Structure 1
Amino acid sequence: MKPTAASSAVTCLCLLALAGVAEEPDRSVDELITELKSTKLPARRDAAYALDQLGVKAKPAVAALADALADGDQQVWSRAASALAGIGPDAAPAIPQLLVGLGAAGQRGYRFGFALSRIGAPALPTLITSLQSDQPPLRIGAARALGMMGAVAAPAAPPLITALADPDASVSQQASRALGRIGAPAVALLSEALSSEHAAVRRGAAQALEQVGPPARPAAAPLGKVSGDSDPAVRASALLALAALGPPVESALPQLVGGLSDVDPDVRTAALLGLLRTRPASQQATPELIRLLSHERADVVLTATRALARLGPVPGEAIPLLAAALKRVETEPQDPTFRRVFARIGGPATAALVELLQDDSSRVKMAACACLGTLGLRAVAARSALQKLLQTEDKAVAEAAQAALQQMEERPPSP
């Protein structure tokens, strides 16, 4: 098809327009500063965006960008904050204006805090002072900005330690995160903070050390001590921190295993998570976990069972104890704890589960059926016993047996 005169004209106009755009010279920083002060919103938005793309080259615009932080349009002030962050330490003259919005909710507070963190060391005195403000939002913003700085904020570690005791929980949390991001330079102070008289400080210090990870290994001893703290939140935080220290983990295993029998559920959960996070080294705690299967408290037995189900291979010696635990500990039908641990053991658990099918309790028989069903074809030896249960008058048990048998059916290979 031949091009018409009209289509050719349109094509030429488009090419001319594109050529005009391509030939348009870049605007200078001074021109962008002028546009940033324009009364026209599109011009201010465009200028803020362009300055944000310049990075450190936008340094001459610091004053104008600082003024633009008060613009009523989000695109303008957010781009201005981003441009100041890109300029870095040379944007220090904008610190007072950034501080005004540091305690604001939402994106404004976050972006202004990020800009202060990129300015870095010049912003430290202002942020440290802000940690003592009588306005909680400003204290929160200051702690968050210090955390964004990372190790550069090391001089702020002492006041951040103090902020762990802040009556506002959000301030305390942000201070803990900031100390964790400062990393190794804060470890010594955090270790000392573990002996504070304030539980919030001990908890925040332990949480920060968990965040620091392996570089916090010098704090292993004090963490081990507070793993027996009178405050359950401190105990839980200490256990997670111990698990985060990395290898060798042998010294932490007694505390982690001991935490599985804690009276507080959050501490038990922390101990379980700690063991899982230190695999495969924590598999050497398996004998201790097996011993906990005979614990008098059902919650401890369940926690130990969950650990065994996820930690690694389960030795045969655990089978009778697990069967006894299934019989003794009542769980909700949807609780997968015992199904998972017997599935990990596999076929060798079949005989013990078949024996449970003879129990007087319908609950126990149904639980055994569920476990056998989970084993699938690995428990084919249980088919006969399950088929006998199909004749029972207990409808729920019969249905459980039928479900288990269906899970043992041979399935054709996938095409």
Structure 2
Amino acid sequence: MVDRQRAAKDLGRLGWLARDAMPALVRALDDENAKVRETAAHAIGGMGPDALGTLVLMLGHADKYVRRNAVWALGKLGPLARPALEDLCNSLKDPDPRTASGAAQALGNMGADGAESVPLLAEAMRGTNIVLCRLASKALSQIGAPALATLIAHLQHADPFVRAESAIAIGWMGVSARSAVPFLARVLRGPECPLTRTPISSLTPTAIEMPNSEALTPAQLPVPDPTSSEMTCRVHAAQALGRIGSAASGALVDLREAARSGAEPLRQAAQQAIRLIQGA
């Protein structure tokens, strides 16, 4: 076993130069020893685009460590892994959490070429695997414009964690997410604010109503729990608006109100967002 594992490791160090040894490494994927299988899988993953077909087959292997190496290697290929898109989408439901999370990363690394995976990444965001949710939201942000509407819709999801991750992902998209500004402003104001009773689904960037600073006094506003999930959503919405920059100037009224009367850490996040939007 030691000799077989060492041989696979040595081949792995050669990278694509060891491509002539691919058949032997593929046979090693079914070795009786788990360490040999994992080392062979890692070696194949280092061979780059030449290993694409083999990596796709590895996604269906019984050994989770082989599958993990496959999604890791496909992720390194970026857009070159486009032929494996359907198989990676299937891997989002892999019983091994790390394989599923790696598949999300690989799909995100394809950028816009991974647009067909948006519905399945959105489904992954709504699951119970927190790491997968976070990586799926990151992948959607990397895919960009084709995923923006999905992320905006998730801002009104019942699970506050999903809402928060959606806000983070929109922020990662920067100025290209300018159409999400009114919806982020809605999240920023919070569900308990009387000024935000209109559901996100009925809002448009031109129809959203900004709050009147004279409508409520600080004493009339509910006192939020700074540790609550809702507060976390509001903080991430403020941070996302800041990352969008000057294109988020339409949310300055809401941000100033949060900076004036919000609890920490919302106040600090709003102040920072205002500085970023105004270019200070």
TM-score by length of 2: 0.69
Q: In 2, distance between residues paired with 1:193 and 1:277?
A: 25
Gaps of 5+ in 2: 192-229
Alignment partner, residue 243 of structure 2: 244
Deviations, residues 106-155 of structure 1 (Å, cap 9, x unaligned): xx877532312325223222222232344433332322222233222211
Q: 5 Å matches for 1:321-400?
A: none
Greater RCO, 1 or 2 (C-alpha within 8 Å, sep 6+): 2
Match of 1:176 among 118, 133, 137: 137
Gap change, CA 1:180 and 1:102, over 3 Å in 2 = farther
Q: Which amino acid aligns with 1:97?
A: M
Q: In 1, distance between residues paired with 2:84 and 2:274?
A: 41
Greater Rg by CA: 1
Assess if the C-alpha contact under 8 Å between 1:120 and 1:152 holds in 2.
Answer: no
Q: In 2, distance between residues paired with 1:176 and 1:212?
A: 11
Asked if 1:124 is matched to 2:85, the reply is yes
Gap change, CA 1:264 and 1:127, over 3 Å in 2 = farther
Deviations, residues 159-187 of structure 1 (Å, cap 9, x unaligned): 21122222222121111111112122211
Q: Which amino acid aligns with 1:209?
A: I
Assess if the C-alpha contact under 8 Å between 2:74 and 2:106 holds in 1.
Answer: yes
Q: 5 Å matches for 1:296-335?
A: none
Alignment partner, residue 103 of structure 2: 142
Match of 1:226 among 179, 187, 191: 187
Match of 2:148 among 187, 199, 213: 187
What is the deviation of 1:241? Answer: 1.2
Q: In 1, distance between residues paired with 2:64 and 2:258?
A: 39
Assess if the C-alpha contact under 8 Å between 2:61 and 2:67 holds in 1.
Answer: no
Alignment partner, residue 322 of structure 1: none
Gap change, CA 1:68 and 1:224, over 3 Å in 2 = farther
Match of 1:217 among 160, 163, 178: 178
Q: Which amino acid aligns with 1:113?
A: V
Q: In 1, distance between residues paired with 2:6 and 2:63?
A: 26
Q: In 2, distance between residues paired with 1:148 and 1:182?
A: 8
Q: In 2, distance between residues paired with 1:198 and 1:126?
A: 28
Match of 2:161 among 170, 175, 200: 200
Q: In 2, distance between residues paired with 1:261 and 1:115?
A: 48
Q: Which amino acid aligns with 1:240?
A: Q
Alignment partner, residue 328 of structure 1: none
Gap change, CA 1:49 and 1:265, over 3 Å in 2 = same
Assess if the C-alpha contact under 8 Å between 2:11 and 2:43 holds in 1.
Answer: no
Q: Which amino acid aligns with 1:78?
A: H
Q: In 2, distance between residues paired with 1:62 and 1:262?
A: 63
Deviations, residues 66-93 of structure 1 (Å, cap 9, x unaligned): 445577267654332111xx126x6223
Match of 1:87 among 49, 60, 72: 49
Aligned partner of residue 265 in structure 2, secondary structure: helix
Q: In 1, distance between residues paired with 2:243 and 2:62?
A: 36
Gap change, CA 1:254 and 1:263, over 3 Å in 2 = closer
Q: In 2, distance between residues paired with 1:82 and 1:186?
A: 30
Alignment partner, residue 374 of structure 1: none
Deviations, residues 16-71 of structure 1 (Å, cap 9, x unaligned): xxxxxxxxxxxxxxxxxxxxxx9555544433333x1449xx3x655444445577
Assess if the C-alpha contact under 8 Å between 1:62 and 1:94 holds in 2.
Answer: no
Gaps of 5+ in 1: 1-37, 284-415
Gap change, CA 1:189 and 1:198, over 3 Å in 2 = same
Asked if 1:72 is matched to 2:71, the reply is no
Alignment partner, residue 113 of structure 1: 71
Q: In 2, distance between residues paired with 1:116 and 1:102?
A: 17
Alignment partner, residue 260 of structure 1: 259
Deviations, residues 375-402 of structure 1 (Å, cap 9, x unaligned): xxxxxxxxxxxxxxxxxxxxxxxxxxxx
Gap change, CA 1:47 and 1:256, over 3 Å in 2 = same
Number of equivalent positions: 235
Gap change, CA 1:48 and 1:130, over 3 Å in 2 = closer
Percent identical among aligned pairs is 28
TM-score by length of 1: 0.49
Assess if the C-alpha contact under 8 Å between 1:147 and 1:177 holds in 2.
Answer: yes
Alignment partner, residue 391 of structure 1: none
Deviations, residues 348-385 of structure 1 (Å, cap 9, x unaligned): xxxxxxxxxxxxxxxxxxxxxxxxxxxxxxxxxxxxxx
